[in-house]
Amino acid sequence: MERESVEVSAKTVDEAIDDALEELGLKRQQAEIEILSAGKPGLFGIGGEQARVRVTALEVGTARPMAEPEAVVEEGAAVEVRDADSPEVEQASGHLTELLALMDLDAEVSVRAPETPGDGIGRASAVLDINGDDLGLLIGRRGATLAALQYLLNVMISRKTGSRLLVSVDVEHYRRRREETLCGLARRMADRVRQTGRSITLEPMPAMERRIIHLVLAEDEAVTTGSSGEGDARKVVIYARGSRPGPAR
């Protein structure tokens, strides 16, 4: 019997893998992952090439050993989670400070340990918080510029230190506020699905934000979640448990 397989493109290898696993309804240890192209980052989201992966379901009853946590850094290597006060994190903070200075921005970088899924807990070694005045340009539309800055920084860390470490970057607690908004949205939409029995499709979101929605509703006994669309148009669908995902509102 031929195993189910999909090929997916996204801005980063990690996001492409998340999208493919989401489409197959699998966890990482239930799939074989092949990196077809690591992609090339553009400057703050402009230009560059998308990463592409092929994810194939393993045979029923088999699973890959998986160290916790597992993620991918550019070439598909497992992430190394370090303490927030490690030398590698300190070096990452220094690189970020240099980038901000090159952009002629008056801002300070502080370091803290991840606390929530939006911070990247279990995946990121630290959160680098940027604080200052008039930093909205670092966030961009739907956080696109912030995501590009974070990706660029992690590529720099990987290439300059040889480590497989990831850090999250936040600007004036934007990610925390966004996470709180997403949690509230997920619960409100779940309530609506419970009341009407009809599925609801949310707006397109990046993989990290979709993951938050999935986690918030994972233990809900009345609803479940899925995804539709591809790439930047990928959306979370919330529907009643026991029903097939149908046309969403």
Q: Which helix (H) or strand (E) holds 51?
A: strand 51-57
DSSP β-bridge partners for residue 33: 55
Last residue of a domain, one of 172, 192, 219: 172
CB 102 within 8 A of CB 144: no
Is 128 part of a structural domain of the chain? yes
pLDDT band at 43 (very low <50, low <70, confident <90, very high): low
Cα dihedral value 88, 94, 98, 104, nearest 10: 130
Question: Distance from CA of residue 1 to its chain's centroid?
Answer: 32
Mean pLDDT of the chain: 80
Which of 160-164, 178-182, 207-211 tops mean pLDDT?
A: 178-182
Model confidence, pTM: 0.65
Query: 134 and 97 share a domain?
Result: yes
245 vs 242, higher pLDDT: 242
Q: What is the mean pLDDT of residues 236-243?
A: 85
Alpha-carbon dihedral sign for residues 238, 141, 124, 44: positive
Q: How many domains does the chain have?
A: 3
Q: How far is it, in rounded angstroms, from Cα 135 to Cα 202?
A: 28
CB 67 within 8 A of CB 43: no
The residue segments making up the domain with residue 9 are: 5-57
Q: Do residues 149 and 182 share a domain?
A: no
Radius of gyration of the chain (CA): 19
Same structural domain for residues 168 and 93?
A: yes
Mean local confidence (pLDDT), 57-61:
63
> Are 184 and 224 part of one and the same domain?
yes
Please tell me the predicted confidence (pLDDT) of residue 67: 35
Give a yes or no: residue 188 inside a domain.
Answer: yes
